Amino acid sequence: MYGKALTPLSASSAATFVAPAWAMAARRAQVFTRPTVFTRPIDRARALSQDDASEAHLHGLDIDALAHLLPGKVSVEANQLASVASDLGRIISHRPRALVRPTCVDDVVAVVRSCAERREPLAVRGAAHTTFGQTLSAGVVLDLGALPIPRDEGRDDAISISAGERWSAVVTRTVARGRTLPVIPDYLGLTVGGTLTHGGIGENSYLAGVQTDHVRALEVVTGAGDHLRCSPTEHPELFESCRAGLGQCAVIVGAEMSLVPAPRQVTLYTLRFPDHRTLLSRLQAIAAEGAFEYLQATVDALAPGRYVYTLNAATAHDVGDECQPPSESSQWLASTHTLDYLDYLRRLDHVEQAMRELGVWDVPHPWAYLCLPATRAESFLGAVSEGLRGPRDGRILFQTFVRSRCRTPLFALPDCEHSVHFALLRHAVPAAREGAEAPGRKPEGLAMALVESNRQLWKVAAAVGGRLYPAGAVPMTPDDWRLQLGDRWAVLRAAKQRFDPAGILAPGRRIFE
């Protein structure tokens, strides 16, 4: 089913096909037929993980020798391996042969060289906020959380940070001396290496691009075990293959990031709209004005057919500065809040606890992230919103992108200036989705249905020029990756062959297999 390339539709056929196709793909998450229809993406991923395990056993990396080389840093304890056998998605499970927690870059070099010599699959684990096994390995898992934090030299224009650091720790240090990062993810529990591997989206990305656009230099260990510093002028091919390079060529161990002055406060305006069309229209109009640093829209379901359409627009300023809400929006203004800048950045710190209280933390999270040309966004939003029937189903987040403001070649966007990025944060909670007509269905079955829905949405998105943010639960074939990356696919493949000749890094991606 997933072995064929996606052939883009012509402009005329896509125009007539897109709206019903969105609806059909969205409804796949609500209609249950034979389970085999929905297990195919899962079965494929599980089969691949068995291949990884067989390959690791065949080549036989000596784990005991690795433990002797790195005393106290290599674990094969069952409970430790189980703790890194899945990710936030809770859909795919790969139990590794060993978990390594390096405490210096030399440790990382030793692990990578050992794995390369025996062709042992190696995955780097940060916060593990992928949702379809992208950061898992049946070989060795590398947790960079114990790497030392570089000394802060107090520079106003840049800071050196460790890949294993959480963004929460980074912004705490920078804001304390009046500086901040140009782009910061809205959830600070992610790691530096994790977001730079993907690109790194923030609520101000429509103005400032993605995080990788503001990387001055990277410290990496290539798949061949070489410890290098790379930048636009030093090993530039390696630098470009690591920024949003999905971990294909090297392990990022550190980064030098640009800094800008930090504001003192942020005023947040919350607007409510009557329908998805008005919400999307106002989001695009306010983004075009460029008067607000942070913009994000959400769709939440109260009950089947009852939705809340929200736009959060925030502006950064100094204490005492006068602020104004978005123009021509007074009738939709629901609330206004002024926060200290750091409190604004930390506003999602308690998201895990909130999900636990809602009963959706321990279930599978088949999330998907798709970016559509702005002209296709309305029909997509309307169709996928219908799949939400209550608070425990999840929510939809979206924001605008401007292609010319994103300068990372491997960060894939539609081939148009304006696009809309959607995060479909759907939870596999059977009681929330099925009601009484299908009692007892397990979350795993619903997760498979939602993964199949994601797959169908991706196929239709690709047909109209859409792209995806590759941290979601969307099964991808090598042909899909060719379409996703366009002319950069061949460039990344050449870099992969040069810097990771044994092909050990990021086994959960399978971009070129």
DSSP string, 185-221: -S-TTSBHHHHHHH----TTHHHH--GGGGEEEEEEE
Point out the least confidently predicted range of 3-17, 213-227, 291-305, 391-405. 3-17
Task: Tell me what pLDDT residue 34 has.
Answer: 28
What SS3 class is residue 413?
coil
User: With bands split at pLDDT 50, 70 and 90, how would you rate the model's confidence at 17?
Assistant: very low
- Return the CATH fold of 158-261: 3.30.465
Q: Could you tell me which CATH class the domain 37-146 is placed in?
A: alpha beta
CB count, 10 Å around CB of 505? Answer: 28
User: With bands split at pLDDT 50, 70 and 90, how would you rate the model's confidence at 47?
Assistant: very low
pLDDT over 70 at 15, yes or no? no
> For the whole prediction, is pTM greater than 0.85?
yes
Q: What integer is the mean pLDDT of 336-348?
A: 96
Q: What integer is the mean pLDDT of 309-334?
A: 94
User: With bands split at pLDDT 50, 70 and 90, how would you rate the model's confidence at 22?
Assistant: low
Spatial distance between the Cα atoms of 201 and 406, rounded to a whole number of angstroms: 11
pLDDT over 90 at 150, yes or no? yes
Is 11-34+263-484 in CATH node 3.40.462.10? yes
Task: Tell me what pLDDT residue 7 has.
Answer: 32
| H-state helical runs in 202-350 | 205-208, 236-242, 276-289, 341-345
- The tens digit of pLDDT for each residue in 98-129 reads 999 999 999 999 999 999 999 999 999 999 99
Domain ranges in the chain? 11-34+263-484, 37-146, 158-261
Task: Tell me what pLDDT residue 31 has.
Answer: 35
Spatial distance between the Cα atoms of 242 and 146, rounded to a whole number of angstroms: 21
CA separation, residue 484 to residues 29, 79, 472, 488, 490 (Å): 24, 37, 14, 9, 12
- The tens digit of pLDDT for each residue in 457-488 reads 999 999 999 999 999 999 999 999 999 999 99
pLDDT over 60 at 84, yes or no? yes
What SS3 class is residue 252?
strand
- The tens digit of pLDDT for each residue in 276-315 reads 999 999 999 999 999 999 999 999 999 999 999 999 999 9
Question: CB–CB of 214/258 below 8 Å?
Answer: yes
User: With bands split at pLDDT 50, 70 and 90, how would you rate the model's confidence at 11?
Assistant: very low
Task: Tell me what pLDDT residue 431 has.
Answer: 63
Task: Tell me what pLDDT residue 216 has.
Answer: 98
Task: Tell me what pLDDT residue 43 has.
Answer: 53
Task: Tell me what pLDDT residue 48 has.
Answer: 44
CB count, 10 Å around CB of 322? Answer: 6
Question: CB–CB of 202/183 below 8 Å?
Answer: yes
* Residues 6 or more apart whose Cβ sits within 8 Å of residue 367: 88, 89, 131, 394, 423, 424, 425, 426, 471, 472, 473
User: Element (H or E) spanning 368, and its range?
Assistant: strand 368-373
Task: Tell me what pLDDT residue 30 has.
Answer: 45
Question: CB–CB of 276/26 below 8 Å?
Answer: no
Task: Tell me what pLDDT residue 63 has.
Answer: 97
pLDDT over 80 at 204, yes or no? yes
Better-scored residue on pLDDT, 327 or 247? 247
If you average pLDDT over every residue of the chain, what do you get?
89
Cα 239–198–348 angle (5° rounding)?
130
Burial 422-442 (b: 16+ CB within 10 A, else e): bbbbbbbbbbbbbeeeeeebe
Task: Tell me what pLDDT residue 444 has.
Answer: 80
Spatial distance between the Cα atoms of 490 and 161, rounded to a whole number of angstroms: 31
pLDDT over 80 at 32, yes or no? no
What SS3 class is residue 158?
strand
- The tens digit of pLDDT for each residue in 482-500 reads 999 999 999 999 999 999 9
Handedness of CA 277, 283, 285, 288 (dihedral sign): negative
